[in-house]
Chains A and B, each alone.
Chain A
Amino acid sequence: MTETKQGCPFSHTDYGADTEIHGHYALLDAEREASRFRFNDTTERGFWMLQRYDDVVEGFQRHDVWTTRARSAINPDSGMALLPQDLNGEAHLKMRRVINPFFAPAAVKRMEAMAHERCIELIEELRPKGGCDFVAEFAIRYPTDLFLALLGLPVSDGDFFLPWSETLFAGFFGGDPDAAAAAKRKITDYFDAAVNERRANPRDPKQDMVSRLIEARIDGEPISQEDILTVCMTLMLAGLDTTRSALGYIFTHLARDDADRRTIIDRPDLGPAAAEEFLRMYPLVFQAGREVRAAGEFHGIDMAEGDVVWLGIGSANRDPRKFPEPDRFVIGRKGGNQHLAFGAGPHRCLGMHLARLELAVVLKEWHERIPHYRIKEGTRLVERGGQLTLATLPLEWEV
């Protein structure tokens, strides 16, 4: 007999553990098909798993009573402040209004030329080598450079900034906590200096995000220095690892599938649509968490205040009820851009337009210069749990 909690079967799957590539999606698919809801007991607080597309969307839309006090179901008490994520309701909206314009399509468009330029530079640097670790030598450098540019900081700072952010990330997923704390301090000091420099020499707040954060008033009050630094840190945490991860999965797919790669090579105009379908198929943030702040019922489950809910992004994006033949890569599939890779509701990913641009630019520029490549023979591809990424992706090509 299966044990159940309020009729939900238990799940004992530890989603924080590393697996072979695509191992997490296989687990998610199996759990979603076995039952509509589950209760996972692998963490201290446990969590209700919402898995099917419609349930997950509905969960995101319950933002009035399910708050981001637990941002991740797997790690509900992370202790790290993030802004604007940690805010809810009106306070969240007010902060988002300050930052949104820098990530709206018009602002992202302003970065387009620079995105192409930087992407080409990096590819041209790698091309003559005939191979690289795509994850370390390209997929993380590219978004780091663009992030610095977005903040109005020198791209060359990436040389020292990158190792700090990598150490900090490693800390979230089992790495050395002391090293991570030291890295976090260095990053905060770096942002602190940048913000102070802007206080002394303000730029156009319509164009420069840091100047805007300094000048902005919320309910008549300026945003505190500490909060500004938290915003910068959050943007960094949200934008770098995810883009790197997405690129790792996309290039694994294309290295293995000659027909799909052909399509990308022959039809560079399909880049944005292809990126969208990749985001559906391979979401890196495969779950979001919420904390129940007002007890209530959800389709037959009685949720108590303080319960943790798992919003199964990875499960929903591959739910065959919503996306027929979810394992197939279908550019422009019907309703394909309703996927939840960026979440939904008011907290949906702020950087999604930038992410889309970044991915489409790489698809175009890379395949124009290095159309054919393969994964180095004998490579075992391992994906990190918690929030998916590939540890390494060695690619080779003819020069």
Chain B
Amino acid sequence: MEKTELGKAPKLRKNKRRSNESLAGWLFALPWLIGLAVFFIYPLLSSIYYSFTDYSILQSGDFIGLANYRELFQDELFWISIYNTVYFAVLFVPLSIIFGVALAMVLNMRVRGMAVYRTIFFLPTLVPHVALAILWIWLLNPQFGLVNAMLDFFGIQGPPWLGSTFWSKPALVLMSLWGIGQAVIIYLAGLGDISQEYYEAAEVDGASFLQKTFRITLPLLTPVIFFNLVMGFIGAFQQFTLPYAMTNGTGSPADSLTFYVMYLYDNAFSYFRMGYASAMAWILFVIIMLLTAIVFWSSKRWVHYQGD
């Protein structure tokens, strides 16, 4: 009897304190919550509504039902921008994973001055995208650019990169790979997480370097690869700043660099077709959501967690 009473009393007190604390917590979070509601949730919901209107920013639009969506599916540039975006994502995301993991494994070796090397590979991610775009325009210039000068050294005549509709997207992939330092940091953390015991056990069994890489390192790195895959696809589908800055927003040559979000931006701010742009934004949302769902669904088959 006594025990339970003793046990009850502090519990009650604790509950009261907890509700006071949670009230204070909510109060502290309130400014942020109001901000979230006013500047994020409200615009988000209104953009659904606007996607059914011919809203132009300067004048409130009329409700036109599904007309924006119907027009989009007949809009040639809409399909071109989807093609370009998918092309870029399909080329860039796998390459960024292969190079990212390889680079992380190299940077994970115990060598003197490793901190310096790691810094060097992380530095490019600190460069603003617009500056990066200008830098690469120079590097890729076929007349006096560094890239073709290097190819020339090996006796290869470099392609006209940004002048050609065929090479412009690979050029953009090349540029984007420059910024994989961010992903490499995450891979490095993942590598650091793999228990040394596995390697020691494998060494006792006489496993080669390749065997260790493909049987231990890569499988145990899959949760991190999974994360970077999802983030990579989301980022690739929202590609904007680099091609926009490089082509002055034109997507030249001949729309080969017109990406989905660039066309969305044009509709919103150049043509004042906010309703049409809202419809595009929601279609993009659905595409990214579906893609993420597919990656999540497939992850059961290939992502291994330590201790599973």
Our verdict on whether A and B bind, yes or no, reads no
Binding site for B on A (CB under 8 A): none
